[in-house]
Structure 1
Amino acid sequence: MTRTYWAAGTAVLLALLFAVAATVASASGDGDGDGDGGSRTTARAPGLYSADAGFARDMAVHHQQAVEMSFIVRDRTQDEPVRGLAYDIANTQANQRGMLLGWLDLWGLPKVVAGEPPMSWMGSADGHGGHAGHAMGGSGMSGHDMAGHDMAGGDMAGHDMGGAAAKPGALMPGMATKEELAQLGAAEGRDAEVLYLQLMTDHHKGGVAMAQGCAKECETPAERALARGMVEAQQSELALMADMLKQRGAAPRG
């Protein structure tokens, strides 16, 4: 278990270090990585509805709920392995979220786009993810509720988005509903530990699917590297959480 968890943390750290270095190189004008500093004066920013921008916006929201759930469970149990896992997930995903939002700032792109359904960037070769065909009737609702609450009208709930389905009442695949967050906040001890591990398992599965989508479709090398690091780290944590659930006489849901 210790080796698995160490590997997950190492993968994330390496991805973060590479992403920071690549971002600095891109911002300084040496975006092609050949070191000459003169072949391109600036790196071309991704488009508003590109996979790069869409992943950054959606994963920032996805990560925010993981941070929220992790802080909740730290107040609901005294179990050190669960509290330690929760702390590391919160710390890692808060840092990654800051990086994703920082890229949006660097690219001069908004963090929320009115009318953009979650994960509309996935599954399209041109990086637009069929956005125009999925606009929500000019409602002006992005659906990016930071607590993972239901979208206006629940239009996307249960629909297939990029090969992964969001359950009714959840914003994106793997995300918890507001009812599940309330259950976690009311649970204590072993019940809180098991529910957190189950919810975070679902959350990581959805996050892995999203990160795999970016690793395939995003064009920014640093972002692809971060996405691949997310996949490796979260898959390792999935194995760890399965073991922790088994130790508590429980199992992942579904």
Structure 2
Amino acid sequence: MRWAAGGAVLLALLFAGAAAVASGRGGGDAAAPAGTLAVPAAGSADAGFARDMSVHHQQAVEMSFLVRDRTKDEEVRRLAYDIANTQANQRGMMLGWLDLWGLPKTAPAGQEPMAWMPSSGHHTHPGRHTGASSAPRDGALMPGMATRTELRELGAADGVEAEVLFLQLMTDHHLGGVAMAEGCAGLCAVPAEKRLAEGMVRGQRSELDLMADMLAERGAAPRP
């Protein structure tokens, strides 16, 4: 199971990279001549979202693999696999676009995460990173991201404890991800990237409803 799931995610990344080359061409400027590539600026919302959401997605994949090894509950394992597979695929697309555009996969030195999205007030917990103007805390670089301490706690938990912690952390993660994706849907110029962001909003909202039900079944709830 471990090798099958890991292999599926790797294949998803490979296929996503190929798809990204096709979908990222010519989408940034309707006035661009046929056959040319309209490249977003390095500081644009398109580039910033692709960079930041790739990091955000990577942590979701990491948490999904952590809980997969900490529980035998098939419902939780299936959700974790779906999240890992979907977000690895999307991450591959976004990194592929950055390659296609000839843009770096990391933000310029001195630039805060989320600088492309000036709005603040994202869902977060006290003491967590709340926007581009806030300093990261314990590795939580963006809204909804788990801290290093929380990742260690998830890796040390077992059974129902691991299931509840995963569902709570992933709920926070999705809420932060939805806010970021909504930002791109309103700010990004590349049509393919806007469509991807809109799909993220729909998919993660659906999973938020599912995770709320799964938490209730375990006598728990999302964190306030």
TM-score when normalising by structure 1: 0.72
- Asked if 1:51 is matched to 2:45, the reply is yes
State the distance in 2 between where 1:31 and 1:173 align. 27
Equivalent residue in structure 1 for 2:146, among 172, 176, 179: 176
Contact 2:145/2:172 (CA < 8 Å) preserved in 1?
Answer: yes
- Which residue does 2:60 correspond to in 1? 66
How many residue pairs end up in the alignment? 201
For residue 57 of structure 2, give the secondary structure of its aligned residue in structure 1: helix
Contact 1:63/1:97 (CA < 8 Å) preserved in 2?
Answer: yes
Unaligned runs of 5+ in 2: 1-14, 120-126
Structure 1's consecutive aligned runs of 4 or more residues displaced over 4 angstroms after TM superposition are: 29-34
- Asked if 1:110 is matched to 2:108, the reply is no
The residue correspondences of 1:208-223 to structure 2 (distance < 5 A) are: 208-223=178-193
- Which residue does 1:246 correspond to in 2? 216
Aligned partner letter, 2:80: A
State the distance in 1 between where 2:176 and 2:27 align. 34
Q: Quick one: percent identity of the two aligned structures?
A: 67
Deviations along 1:188-221, whole A, 9 cap, x unmatched? 0000000000000000000000000000000000
Aligned partner letter, 2:79: L
- Which residue does 1:6 correspond to in 2? none
For residue 35 of structure 2, give the secondary structure of its aligned residue in structure 1: coil
Unaligned runs of 5+ in 1: 1-15, 125-156
Deviations along 1:139-171, whole A, 9 cap, x unmatched? xxxxxxxxxxxxxxxxxx7454269x7884311
State the distance in 2 between where 1:116 and 1:33 align. 29
TM-score when normalising by structure 2: 0.81
State the distance in 2 between where 1:74 and 1:159 align. 27
RMSD of aligned C-alpha atoms? 2.9
Cα distance change on mapping 1:51 and 1:203 into 2, 3 Å: same
- Which residue does 1:199 correspond to in 2? 169
- Asked if 1:228 is matched to 2:198, the reply is yes
Deviations along 1:216-242, whole A, 9 cap, x unmatched? 000000000000000000000000000
Cα distance change on mapping 1:99 and 1:110 into 2, 3 Å: same
State the distance in 1 between where 2:89 and 2:129 align. 30
For residue 242 of structure 1, give the secondary structure of its aligned residue in structure 2: helix
- Which residue does 1:93 correspond to in 2? 87
- Which residue does 1:153 correspond to in 2? none
Q: Which protein is bigger by CA-based radius of gyration?
A: 1
Measured after TM superposition, the shift of residue 115 of structure 1 is 1.9
Measured after TM superposition, the shift of residue 44 of structure 1 is 1.3
Deviations along 1:59-117, whole A, 9 cap, x unmatched? 00000000000000000000000000000100000000000000000000000132221
